[in-house]
Amino acid sequence: MANLHLADLEGLRAYLTVRISPARALGLMLESVDPVTIAAPLDANLNDKGTAFAGSLYAVAALAGWVLVTRWCAAESVDAEVVLQSSSAKFPSPARAGFRATAQEPAAAQWQKLKRMLARSGRGRAELAVEVRCHEALVMSFKGTYAVIAAARAE
């Protein structure tokens, strides 16, 4: 399969850096895949108030969710595109230092449902929650719905 290298930390880290321009520009770094954790420094992401720009917080959160679903696909040998469809976000407090997004592993039942949908129609959907923290403080809570679209089976 095309995306098997996206199952591990090194493969995913290289992919993000090489293939996603803003991940590079904003200094985003995949730190862990279990749980999926992406860190960002403050300096590349500063707004006019000396805190992190909301768009940067969103970027780490959206990417963390994307990595979680992409990694599941790779582990299941599902060759698919993963695309963010919709999201909601809240920003309870400002980030005054570097920050870190952690994607919450969904219930096993949701992965099972996604698997059934992919088997039946080649399309499915995953709903994920991601938290962004600065030290211990919650600076963003994010919910995203990702579409998963299977590639035509090669082979």
Residues 6+ apart with CB under 8 A from 102: 35, 36, 37, 64, 130, 131, 132, 133
Q: How far apart are CA 106 and CA 126, in angstroms?
A: 9
**137 sits near a second copy (criterion: CB under 8 A):** no
Type of residue at 116 = R
Which position among 19, 108, 109, 153 is part of the footprint of a second copy (CB under 8 A)?
A: 19
Count residues near a second copy (CB under 8 A).
Answer: 35
Least CB distance to a second copy at residue 21 (A)? 5
Subset of 60-119 contacting a second copy (CB under 8 A): 60, 62-63, 81, 83-91, 94
Which residue lies nearer to a second copy by CB, 2 or 119? 2
Which residue lies nearer to a second copy by CB, 94 or 106? 94
Check: CB of residue 62 under 8 Å from CB of residue 144: yes
Which residue lies nearer to a second copy by CB, 50 or 120? 50
Residue 129 in 3-state DSSP? strand
Identify each DSSP E strand in the chain by its residue range: 29-33, 36-40, 80-90, 99-103, 123-134, 137-150
Q: How far apart are CA 43 and CA 144, in angstroms?
A: 26
Least CB distance to a second copy at residue 32 (A)? 20
**25 sits near a second copy (criterion: CB under 8 A):** yes
**55 sits near a second copy (criterion: CB under 8 A):** yes
CB atoms within 10 A of CB 107: 9
Q: Which of the stretches 16-24, 102-110, 115-123, 124-132 binds a second copy when contact is defined by CB under 8 A?
A: 16-24
- Binding residues vs a second copy (CB under 8 A): 15, 19-23, 25-26, 43-49, 53-56, 58-60, 62-63, 81, 83-91, 94
